[in-house]
């Protein structure tokens, strides 16, 4: 087994991708040195310094927390090239110029450590040609590593070998990229633009062709090709704006320069679309220049009209009938689109047909199997299904026949026939390219199983393709109970798992009761409990939909009783006789946040968004969230031997009163919702594995619940200080009168109510104050407006 470790990484090139790759490395706590050319004026590291400073301004942020930018070591090739010898992995990410890359390789090759891997983050240049500039001893350790932009958020990384790359190098790199960087790896063949950009950009060009053919506008097309088509919400043209029209044009040029009609029968469609050329000529490159296919003027979104040569009002939507069609089962959906007489329906069938056609024709040359194509399109282009998955779900044989008929009729973008394997042999017999035995490899003419490296054992329920029949969490293990929207189950008979499956994993009284029951069972029969759900929502908090009927029917007493019961469950979890670990992924808001912070420990996916957001619906945290903030402030003040609680309390007050949500696990830790001891997991698919191991380790170490103790509060004088600051915010128009009222209640709870500074209180005492504040707000008309607004529109009401 390889013992390759990445202790330090060098990134060459401080451009858009290089700087953001470096940012993601510090997110996952890998030391990184970022190189670029020495600046012609000023400090030699000026180019890198400006790039690092720019990272703090980008939205969405490439950094988990902005101040981590200072962790990026800055370097230039002239003074610091020897530092390459300290690195185990060198990622080249300079501009997409073959000659520039080759020149750089000649310069750095003597300084790369003899054990280190050198990888190029090219988006489509030949990895084999790049390797030709390297000395023989470095060629076995060279490969391609293609991140997608933005690297922090995009799950896909393509790895590409050359004929001289050692297989172990790719295995080692895949293990690092998977577990440490938290990515999904697809191995691509060394062909122009690899897999995702090859299929994806060909699809975008085909879409532009079909748009022209059917006379549709960009806004209508984006409405059709976004969420309605189970793709990225940005659709086609908005996606191009986000990527950058110059970047898109460069990827297109790579296809133009490296392919011809013999190697790609769709080659005639790779001509730069007139609308793309026109926008680039104007310098309108998309989001980065604030104008591309779209341009925002004031509150209006304009779209570019090629015929007009200018921007015109946008915002048009697709006909509703097609939205209804796209909700039908796959077979019916495709049939309805194909038989539709309307331009929008014909357009949708055409772009789907084109994607199936292109992927099938090129499967043998670009990918090891159909699985890699589908994963690449899902992870790199935001599709819920890859082209082969959709084709197979809709009925392999029927769809293949439809495609053939369109090719024969001259309706397809290419006259190239579908490969023979589509109609005969194992694929036809299996009804598609994905089976439980594996996915179809057109190059090897067999179904190949999914690659499993030792690192993949950490993924208990990895992503799989439709048709593979991979085990799902909800069907695995032994179910002990499934009541109150909580499945209580175990995988190994050692650790109990509680999985909430209510809508948005909201916490209703039934969910709370089921969680309490899971704690009791874990204490009797298991080493501990993990609270985990297999989707991107840990919990969005209290079930407002269930709370309102109780209030209407039984009055405020019913709400207060439910709140007290929920608080008691939180304390039951906090003082459980076995470790309770919350495995948080995605949203942990309001009561979801409170559930996590009352657990014995937390194992948190990097992309988790945690916060107390009750202010948004006119409430205060009512399940122990404010009590937690007050207790932690007292503990921190005591540990610092300070006597003034307010400096420690202010951060928590601001987070709760402003409904701040951490935009990463790292930022959530800054807000106080995670402890330094809590584990951050880069790869969401490893979360359950790590949480189970955490419970076992805590149990084996003799874990004991914390002992109940009183703690100091800031008292009425502390509340007065906080409220004094709120007056200025209200009078300055920064918060509404109702916001001021809610924040005042939060301050009152956090400081212990009408008591002297330094008074010792219990958690139960503060929870009583929480409950009273919560219930007083339920009765407030302004709060009721906020709750009803959120339930009816899903958006906060500011009043």
- Indicate which residues carry an active-site annotation: 123, 146, 158, 197
Enter the tokens of residue 346. Answer: 């014909």
For 46, 72, 525, the CA distances from 41, given in Å and listed in that order, are 8, 22, 69
Q: What is the Cα–Cα distance from 66 to 676, expressed in whole angstroms? A: 18
Closest of 97, 95, 81, 89 to residue 38, by C-alpha:
81
Contact 162, 134 (CB under 8 A): no
Are 230 and 236 a contacting pair, CB within 8 Å?
no
Tokens 């060459």 belong to 12
User: What is the 8-class DSSP label of residue 411?
Assistant: -
Q: Which residues contact 278 (CB under 8 A, 6 or more apart)?
A: 304, 306, 309
Could you give the 3-state DSSP secondary structure of residue 442?
A: coil
User: Where are any strands of DSSP class E within 93-155?
Assistant: 117-120, 142-147
- Backbone CA torsion sign across 716, 718, 721, 722: negative
From 105, 103, 102, 112, select the one nearest 82 (Cα to Cα): 112
Please work out, in degrees rounded to the nearest 5, the angle formed at the alpha carbon of residue 210 by the alpha carbons of 207 and 214.
135
C-alpha span between 110 and 399 (Å, rounded): 54
Structure token digits, residue 422? 């589509």
Cis peptide before 150 (omega within 30 of 0): yes
CA nearest 435: which of 365, 388, 475? 388
Q: Which of 367, 366, 329, 324 is nearest to 345 (CA)?
A: 324
Rounded to an integer, what distance in angstroms lies between the CA atom of residue 217 and that of residue 220? 6
- Alpha carbons 35 and 91: distance in angstroms, whole number: 10
Q: How far is CA 548 from CA 502, 559, 621, 650, 784, in A?
A: 17, 9, 17, 32, 9
CA torsion through residues 513, 515, 520, 524, sign: positive
Give the Cα-Cα-Cα angle 781, 782, 786 (nearest 5 degrees). Answer: 115
Instruction: Give alpha helix (H) positions in 284-367.
Output: 320-325, 330-339, 343-366
The tokens of 660 are what? 């701040």
Cα–Cα distance measured from residue 426 to residue 737, given in angstroms and rounded to the nearest whole number: 69
What is the rounded CA–CA span in Å between residue 654 and residue 764? Answer: 23
């Amino acid at each position: 087994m390889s013992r390759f470790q990445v202790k330090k990484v060098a990134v060459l090139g401080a451009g858009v991708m290089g700087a953001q790759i470096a940012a993601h490395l510090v997110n996952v706590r890998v030391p990184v040195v970022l190189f670029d050319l020495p600046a012609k004026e000023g400090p030699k590291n000026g180019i890198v310094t400006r790039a690092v400073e720019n990272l703090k301004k980008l939205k969405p942020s490439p950094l988990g927390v902005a101040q981590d930018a200072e962790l990026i070591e800055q370097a230039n090739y002239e003074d610091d090239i020897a530092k390459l010898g300290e690195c185990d992995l060198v990622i080249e990410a300079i501009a997409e110029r073959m000659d520039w890359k080759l020149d750089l390789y000649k310069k750095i090759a003597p300084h790369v450590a003899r054990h280190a891997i050198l990888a190029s983050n090219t988006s489509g240049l030949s990895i084999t040609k790049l390797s030709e500039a390297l000395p023989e001893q470095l060629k076995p350790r060279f490969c391609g590593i293609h991140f997608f932009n933005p690297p922090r958020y995009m799950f896909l990384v393509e790895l590409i070998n050359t004929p001289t790359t050692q297989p172990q190098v790719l295995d080692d790199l895949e293990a690092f990229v998977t577990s440490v960087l938290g990515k999904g790896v697809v191995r691509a063949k060394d062909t122009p633009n690899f897999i995702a950009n090859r299929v994806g950009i060909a699809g975008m060009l085909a879409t532009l062709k079909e748009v022209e053919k059917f006379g549709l506008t960009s806004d209508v097309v984006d409405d059709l090709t976004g969420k309605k088509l189970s793709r990225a919400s940005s659709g086609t043209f908005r996606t191009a704006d986000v990527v950058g029209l110059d970047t898109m044009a460069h990827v297109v040029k790579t296809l133009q320069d490296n392919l011809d009609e013999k190697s790609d029968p769709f080659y005639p469609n790779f001509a730069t679309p007139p609308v793309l050329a026109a926008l680039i000529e104007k310098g309108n490159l998309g989001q980065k220049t604030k104008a591309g296919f779209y341009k925002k003027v004031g509150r209006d979104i304009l779209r570019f009209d090629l015929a007009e040569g200018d921007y015109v009002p946008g915002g048009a939507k697709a006909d509703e009938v097609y939205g209804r069609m796209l909700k039908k089962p796959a077979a019916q959906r495709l049939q309805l689109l194909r038989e539709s007489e309307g331009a929008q329906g014909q357009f949708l069938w055409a772009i789907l047909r084109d994607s199936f056609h292109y992927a099938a024709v090129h499967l043998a040359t670009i990918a090891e199997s159909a699985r890699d194509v589908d994963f690449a399109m899902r992870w790199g282009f935001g599709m819920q299904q890859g082209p082969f998955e959709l084709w197979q779900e809709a009925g392999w044989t029927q769809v293949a026949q439809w495609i053939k008929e369109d090719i024969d009729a001259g309706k397809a973008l290419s006259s190239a026939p579908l490969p023979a394997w589509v109609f005969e042999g194992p694929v036809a017999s299996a009804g598609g390219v994905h089976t439980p035995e594996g996915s179809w490899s057109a190059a090897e003419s067999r179904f190949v199983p999914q690659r499993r490296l030792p690192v993949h054992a950490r993924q208990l329920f990895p992503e799989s393709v439709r048709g593979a029949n991979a085990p799902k969490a909800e069907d695995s293990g032994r179910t002990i109970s499934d009541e109150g929207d909580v499945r209580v189950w175990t995988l190994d008979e050692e650790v109990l798992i509680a999985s909430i499956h209510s809508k948005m994993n909201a916490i209703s009284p039934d969910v709370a009761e089921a969680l309490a029951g899971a704690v009791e069972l874990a204490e009797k029969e298991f080493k501990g409990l993990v609270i985990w759900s297999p989707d991107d929502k840990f919990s969005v908090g209290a079930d407002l939909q269930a709370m309102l009927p109780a209030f209407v029917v039984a009055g405020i007493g019913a709400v207060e009783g439910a709140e007290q019961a929920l608080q008691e469950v939180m304390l039951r979890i906090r003082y459980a006789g076995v470790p309770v670990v919350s495995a948080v992924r995605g949203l942990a808001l309001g009561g979801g946040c409170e559930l996590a912070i009352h657990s014995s420990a937390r194992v948190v996916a990097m992309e988790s968004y945690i916060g107390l957001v009750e202010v948004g619906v006119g409430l205060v945290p009512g399940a122990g969230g404010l009590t937690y903030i007050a207790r932690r402030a007292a503990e921190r003040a005591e540990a610092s031997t300070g006597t003034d609680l307010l400096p420690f309390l202010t951060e928590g007050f601001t987070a709760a009163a402003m409904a701040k949500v951490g935009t990463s696990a790292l930022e959530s830790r800054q807000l106080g919702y995670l402890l330094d001891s809590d584990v951050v997991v880069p790869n969401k698919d490893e979360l359950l594995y790590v949480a189970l191991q955490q419970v076992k380790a805590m149990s084996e170490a003799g874990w004991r619940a914390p002992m109940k103790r009183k703690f100091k509060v800031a008292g009425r004088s502390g509340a007065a200080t906080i409220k004094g600051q709120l007056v200025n915010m209200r009078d300055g128009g920064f918060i509404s009168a109702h916001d001021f009222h809610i924040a005042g209640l939060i301050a009152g709870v956090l400081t212990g109510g009408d008591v002297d500074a330094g008074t010792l209180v219990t958690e139960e005492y503060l929870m009583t104050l929480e409950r009273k504040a919560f219930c007083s707000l339920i009765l407030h008309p302004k709060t009721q407006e906020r709750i009803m607004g959120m339930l009816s529109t899903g958006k906060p009401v500011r009043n």
